[in-house]
Structure 1
Amino acid sequence: MTSNNKTNRTVGKNMDRIMELLSKLRFYGMLETYRNDCRTTSSDGMTNDEFLKWLLESEYDYRRNVSIERLIRSANFRYKAYMEKIDYTIKRNLDRNQIERLASLDFIRDGQNIFITGSSGTGKSYIASAIGYEACKNGIKTLYSNASKLMGQLKMAKNKGTIEPEMKKK
């Protein structure tokens, strides 16, 4: 009995110290996984390599998600928009193949720009936001702006003589 209590106290101290170190090292994904899942998930069936891989994958996923959230916040999207939610049944001459090609983001990798045009209320902003969200999910820094706002900002920068730094920010 005494040996078992001593073992439990040692295990508890070790777990506390591990969580403290994970926090100090800012391994928040590993900390959450360790805190929440180690007590419920039996690591007995895992090899040391599998256990370490499991913790590292949780840290990787956590950091990737934080990065995506940061990119989305800094993009200043007008809408929370998703490619899967674009409604092609409404008659507005959307070419599904073209939209899906844009969603592949090849135009970004090829250094090309896109210009979305159409009548008021046809979903241009939503489509632009959905493509932007897709870019953020792929780790690409994105900025959402409508044309008149962007032109106004660039005109002011040109007048101030700061057009080049302003363009680099965009």
Structure 2
Amino acid sequence: MNTKTLEQMKQLRLFGMHRAFESSLAPESINYTSDELIAYLTQSEWDDRQNRKIDRLTKSAHFRYNAVIEAIDYDPSRVLDKNQIQRFASCDFIKNNQNILITGSTGAGKSYMASAIGHQACSLGYKVVYYNANKLFTLLKTAKADGSYLKMISKLEKQDLLILDDFGLKALDNINRHALMEIIEDRHGKRSTIIASQLPVEAWHKMIGEQTIADAILDRLVHTAHRIDIKGESMRKKLKK
């Protein structure tokens, strides 16, 4: 009878429940009452599905780093507000459709921090996608050529959190400028965006170009955003030392 039950659980894809029930049959297992056993099996299935969901969300985000907020370095030279960053762990900024702008020199740890916040969002069930900004703009140009542009823009709009890394390494041309405007306009007030850049925010207007469009993008992106400016020496050099 137990063998048949285990097989039916597997066929119903109740994998968490299957493992829990199988372990409960071992001689050394706890002698559960019927209601305790039901609670144990239900909780095991719930945990298994949640873990698989987090794993699926994390893989589909394509993060640059396998990063966690707990591993962020708060060395005084970096001038980081630990309380501010730990508040991001609750992901209330996503609930409130707010943005985060992370700036700092090369190797300062911007990508790691953005990835850490993204991983935390995935663990709470949010849909996240991570892109190098230049690669995203290249993909969007290709999408325009093959007719999949609107589908890709729609996919970006549906993400709870969009992370754009290495933003501003190249000045935007007219096509990329309008693509960025469309992305930011679609997400404004509805979704959250994290942007990591070597350029200080004050230099973004010139990098975007075309005053009217730059004004519109920055008005939607910057004024109500949380800002982190990382100081100190390169973390890559520090790790080598």
Q: How does 1:3-152 map to 2 (within 5 A)?
A: 14-39=1-26, 40-43=28-31, 46-89=32-75, 91-152=77-138
Cα distance in 1, alignment partners of residues 82 and 143 from structure 2 = 37
Q: Which has the higher contact order (CA 8 A, sep 6+)?
A: 2
Cα distance in 2, alignment partners of residues 130 and 123 from structure 1 = 11
3-state SS in 1 of match to 2:130? coil
Runs of 4+ in 1 over 3 A off after TM superposition: 154-164
* Cross-structure match for 1:6: none
Give the structure with higher Rg (CA). 1
The C-alpha deviation readout for 1:118-158, integer Å capped at 9, x for no partner, is 11101111001100110110011111112222333334445
Could you say which structure has the higher strand fraction?
Answer: 2
Contiguous gaps of at least 5 residues in structure 1: 1-13
Q: How does 1:144-163 map to 2 (within 5 A)?
A: 144-158=130-144, 162-163=148-149
Distance 1:143 1:30, change over 3 A: same
Distance 1:155 1:100, change over 3 A: farther
Question: Aligned-pair RMSD on alpha carbons?
Answer: 1.9
Distance 1:107 1:153, change over 3 A: farther
How many pairs were matched up? Answer: 155
Distance 1:95 1:156, change over 3 A: farther
Distance 1:167 1:79, change over 3 A: same
The C-alpha deviation readout for 1:77-123, integer Å capped at 9, x for no partner, is 11110111111026222221221222221111112222322111011
Could you say which structure has the higher helix fraction?
Answer: 1
State the AA in 2 paired with 1:23: K
* Deviation larger for 99-108 or 123-132: 99-108
Distance 1:18 1:161, change over 3 A: closer
The offset of 1:18, in angstroms, is 1.2
Once the two structures are aligned, what percentage of the paired residues are identical? 46
TM-score, normalization by structure 1: 0.82
